[in-house]
Amino acid sequence: MTSQDSSLLVYEYLPNGSLWDRLHTCRETELDWDTRYHIAVGAAKGLEYLHHGCERSVIHRDIKSSNILLDEFLKPRIADFGLAKMVQANGGQDSTHVIVGTHGYIAPRNLLSCCLGDYLTDSVS
């Protein structure tokens, strides 16, 4: 399909689905604690890159096990950037006052203070 009016997103196929699927529905091969540790460290490194390694920092705002996908080696990939925001170059907040995220995963400080989200938002999820 080729058109100047359309755009396509092409993603790598990740055969092991989401971390949530592996933890809650995949009974034939349970993840051992060493594997879980490596997945957690890999996801944390991904967040560190988004927060500090990009030209403009990215705050995901919806980190949860269903948004962490696993490749054939169970290496994690952060997915679903629909609620993500880029931090302004000067470090300021964007102008929206809408609190976003998945109920149950929103950082409590965002709900209590109407904080729009910062790096700590992703670490609480």
Catalytic residues: 62
Q: What share of the chain is helix, strand, coil (3-state, %, to 5)?
A: 35, 10, 60
Task: Determine contact, residues 62/101, Cβ cutoff 8 Å.
Answer: yes
For residue 31, give both structure tokens.
């993840």
C-alpha–C-alpha distance, residues 111 and 125, integer Å: 13
Of 62, 97, 70, nearest in space to 13 by CA: 70
Tokens of 12: 């790598």
